[in-house]
A and B are shown apart, each in its own frame.
Chain A
Amino acid sequence: MKAELRALAATAALLSVSMALAQQDNPPASKYHKDALVYAELTRAPQKARAKRNPLERDPDAVAAGRNLFEQHCTECHGDLAEGGRKGPSLLVEQVQNSEPGTIFWILTNGVVWRGMPVWSKLPEPQRWQLVSYIKSLGVAQPVPSRGSSPKPSSGSATAPPSGHR
């Protein structure tokens, strides 16, 4: 019985530590810093990866399919409109939107594991390219006029998701 109690106590302790690690508070300043570190990861994509072209860029369904995938796998961290959340940075910024499709694909494949983003290579390559199509379709967000309001994707976005979806 003692062994069971010890193991249960160890389990509870481990779960507490793991939750604390996963859910560290991010006050705005450190969140900004953390996001900057994640954006910096974009610059680490090898030249070969950057040069990859999106094989689905002419696929008319790629953006819609990518949007479905985004809703299923990405909104939890990056927000419903990709505007950024507590855990993940905004994808509507120049650092992301001006990146080559190959760079975004590389980030999806490799994740930013030490900064909290898991690898997404479990999604087959075509699905990752569909996600790239959707993310690139969002465009850079308009400047935020006042503190607290959500950034809006640019009006030129091909298929900005309607507000309130999901």
Chain B
Amino acid sequence: MSAAVVRSALTLFLVPLLFVSLPGSSLAQENPYIIAYDHYLEEPGNLEIEYLSTFGTQRAGGDFHAFWMEFEYGATAWWTTEFYLDGQSTFGDSTVFTGFRLENRFRVLKREHFINPVLYVEYENITGADKLLKEVEGHDVETDYADRNAALRQEHKHELELKLLLSGTHKGWNFTENTLAAKNLSSSPWEFGYAIGASRPLALKASAKRCSFCRQNFIAGVEMYGGLGDRHSFGLHETSHYLAPVVAWNLPSDWTLRLSAGFGLNDNSHRLLVRWGVSREITGFGSVVKNLFGGHR
């Protein structure tokens, strides 16, 4: 068994255990999307911590297991800020830290509408070895990831990413569409991409009893995402696309589990991307921090 596999397995099983020790949390109502975003932001003062794994197949190279730790904080009811740490293990190769991301989402409108816009701004400082495929943009294709990690790490990306998230919820169904524009700040033209999704809880009414396996705790859906070329060659040629059924399980015992199996839709795509994540929401995190620094209880 290679060292990369061992490290990968340790990450897979040990990191989620850290969540067990976290205090004070409440039931989250997380959507199942992993790539697409809806218009719901983190509740103010709450911190959500998520560990997410992506297993991907790779032709002409080693399969990989990429992972992130995400810290999502509700600054206000209209602003959520997130920080990600990324890494990956490529089987038969190595395990590497691949960078970080800082993300902000801003709700534009005061009230709920048929379609609700949210502005998304992200700064990425990652290497070419980042294999999370958190978004697919421009002419990203499977062969970009086939090199060994040592070679991929030579490429550094300081990237600004802008998204317009359009989402609405009707009769229990959430529909969302994300349009993406990204630019490597050091070079490269603007690149474009998209993500769309639809999801619905398995039951719309809540049970009178607390339960883990009630249907309302499960939200199922599907998302699709891919690249749309760049400023010089906009379109679908030499782009990759994925379709992924997704499901989230919101447990009354504070946890949310998410699972997704993404299937590549053309020859430029990875054949399979299996993602799973576990998250926990810590309510009143902002108050706790403030009290630590001498705020009033």
Contacts and interface: CB of A to CB of B under 8 A. Distances in A.
Interface residues of B, number: 52
A112 to B, nearest CB: 8
Interface stretch (B69-77, B143-151, B187-195, B270-278): B69-77
B201 interface: yes
B18 interface: no
B74 A22 contact: yes
A84 to B, nearest CB: 15
B111 interface: yes
Interface string A44-83: 0000000000001000010011101100110110000000
A18 interface: yes
Nearest to B287: A23
B73 A15 contact: yes
A33 B171 CA distance: 36
B208 A117 contact: no
A114 B106 CA distance: 12
Nearest to A72: B27
Contact of A87 (B45, B81, B104): B45
B235 interface: no
Nearest to B30: A122
Residue from B26, B169, B208, B252 whose CB has the most chain A CB atoms within 10 Å: B208
B112 A14 contact: no
Given A3-B158, A113-B110, A125-B172, A69 B206 contact: yes
Interface stretch (A4-12, A96-104, A150-158): A4-12
A119 B112 contact: yes
Given A14-B81, A86-B287, A111 B112 contact: yes
Contacts of B201: 124
B19 interface: no
B171 A125 contact: yes
Nearest to B293: A19
A144 to B, nearest CB: 20
Given A73-B26, A87-B44, A124 B81 contact: no
Interface of B: 26-27, 29, 31, 38, 40-41, 43-46, 73-79, 81, 83, 100, 102, 104, 107, 110-112, 123, 125, 158, 169, 171-172, 174, 201, 204-210, 216, 252, 283-284, 286-287, 289-290, 295-296
Interface of A: 3-4, 7-8, 10-11, 14-15, 17-19, 21-23, 25, 56, 61, 64-66, 68-69, 72-73, 75-76, 86-87, 109-119, 121-127, 130
